[in-house]
Amino acid sequence: MISKLKLTAMGVMAGLSASFGATAEEITIATVNNSDMITMQELAPQWEESTGNKINWVVLEENVLRQRTTTDIATGGGSFDIMFIGAYETPIWGAKGWLTPLDDFANDADYDFEDIFELVRNGLSADGSVYAVPLYSETSFTFYRKDVFEKAGIAKPTEQITYDEFAEIVAKVHDPDNGVYGTCQRGKAGWGENMAFVGTLANAFGARWFDMDWKPQLDSAEWNNAITYYVDLMNNYGPPGASANGHNENRALFKDGKCATWVDATSAAGDVYNPDTSSVADKTDFFQAPKQVTDKGTGWFWSWALAIPKSSTKTDVAKDFLKWATSKEYFTTVGETKGWVSVPSGTRKSVHENPKYLEAAPFGETAKNAILSVNPADPTRDPVPYTGVQFVAIPEFQGIGNYVGQQVAAALAGQMSVEDALANSQKFATREMSKAGYIK
C-alpha cells in the first residue's frame, strides 16, 4: 500500500513534469560575440529557471553570424528560433515575410513598447509592422585617452573637427615605442565591419554609394580621397595588422591602453568605462566623430535586435524570451548585477532617465543625443535615392558592401592600390546593380 506521503511526492513530481517536462522547449539563438550579448547569456539562466525552457546558444563572429543567418533565413532552413540581426536586415527581411511580426508587443502594457525610442522602433519596422526588438542602439563617436592628450598638450575638441585635424592630433599622440598607437580603426573586411567606419568616412569626404539613377559612384574622386586618407592614416599611425582588426579587436586594444584614439560605436562605452573590464576606464573621454567637406552622415546608426524567423516552430517560447531579454526589467537586472555603466544604451528612454545610469555612465546623455540626431533619410552631401548612413537599405547592399570591404582591406594591407581597389569595386557594384534591374 502506497503511503500518503509518497502519493503527495508523486503528485508534486507529476506537477513539475507537466509544467517543466512536458511543455519545456529548447530554443536555438544565433548571436554575435559582443559584450552585451555575452552578458545576456550569463543572465539567461534566470529565464530558463523561471520557464523550464532551455537555450542552445550559437555564438558567432559578426561576419560569420551574418552569413549563417542570411543563408538560413533565405532558404527557410529553420536552424534558429531567434536571431540577433540589425537595422539593415530587419526591414528588408520583414518586408519579404521572412520574420514573425511582433506587433503584439506594442499592446503589452508591461513591455512598454513606447519606452523604446521612436527612431529605433522605426528602424526595426516595415510596412507598419515591427519585426525585431532592440537590445541596444548606437551611433559613432571618438574615444580618446585623456592622459595621452594631456601629455601631448592637446585639448579636448569642443566642436566637430575635420578628419584633417584629426590626423594632426593622431600624429602627435602616436607613440609606438611605448605601445600606444595614434589610432585604431576597423580594417577587417565586411559591410558591417570595416565598411561601417569607412562608409561614414566616405560620407564625410562628400562621397555616396549611388547617384540618383542608382549608378555606383565608387570610382569617384570623393571615394578616392576618403580611402587614400584612411590607408595613409592607418599605415602611418595604426597598429600592425590593422586589416585583420574589426570592432571587437579594436575594442580590446583600446581597453588595453594600446590606442590613443578610436572612432567607433557609442555602445562600446559601457565596456570601455567599466573598471572591471577596461584598464583605461578612468582615462577615457570622447568627442564627436570627425567631419570633412560635410558633416552629413559622419556618425552611423545601428541597432542590434532580436527577431524570430518565420521558419521557427517555437514562436510562443521565442516571443517569451524576447520579452524577457529586452524588457525594462532586464535592463534593471543588468544594472544591478553588472553595474549601471554596463546597461545596454540607446534603446529605452527609461534607461537614459535613470539617475543610477546617468551617474555611472558619463557618456549616456551625449550618446543618446548623438543617436537621435542621426538622419538615415539624409545621409550624404549630394542627393541619393537610398536611406541608411553606413549601409544602403537595399537587399543587394550586403553583397556589394562585403566585396568593397574586401577591396578596401586589400588596399590597407598593401596588396593593391587604392585606385585598383575602387575600380574593382565600381565594376562589381555596376554588374550587381544591373543584374538586379536598378540600372536600365
Q: Give domain limits for the chain.
A: 27-138+301-361, 140-300+377-435
Tell me if the domain spanning 27-138+301-361 has CATH number 3.20.20.80. no
Strands 54-60 vs 82-86: parallel, antiparallel or unpaired: unpaired
What pLDDT score was predicted for residue 7?
A: 35
Entry pTM: 0.91
For the stretch 315-339, pLDDT in tens is 999 999 999 999 999 999 999 999 9
How far is the C-alpha of 299 from the C-alpha of 3, rounded, in Å? 71
Does residue 144 register a pLDDT over 60?
yes
pLDDT 10s digits, 60-109: 999 999 999 999 999 999 999 999 999 999 999 999 999 999 999 998 99
CATH 3.40.190.10 assigned to domain 140-300+377-435? The reply is: yes
What is the reported pLDDT for 14?
Answer: 35
Residue 276's pLDDT band (cuts 50, 70, 90): very high
Interval 230-254 mean pLDDT: 98
Intrachain domains 27-138+301-361 and 140-300+377-435 with the same fold = yes
- Which of 15-29, 209-223, 352-366 is the least confident region? 15-29
| H or E element in which residue 32 lies | strand 26-32
Does residue 1 surpass a pLDDT of 60? no
| pLDDT at residue 8 tops 80 | no
pLDDT in tens, 193-225: 999 999 999 999 999 999 999 999 999 999 999
Q: What is the pLDDT of residue 96?
A: 97
Q: Is 144 helix (H, G, I), strand (E, B) or coil?
A: strand
Q: Is 297 left (phi over 0), alpha (psi -120 to 50) or beta?
A: left
Give residue 23's pLDDT.
Answer: 77
* Phi, psi values for residue 376, rounded to 5°: -65, -15
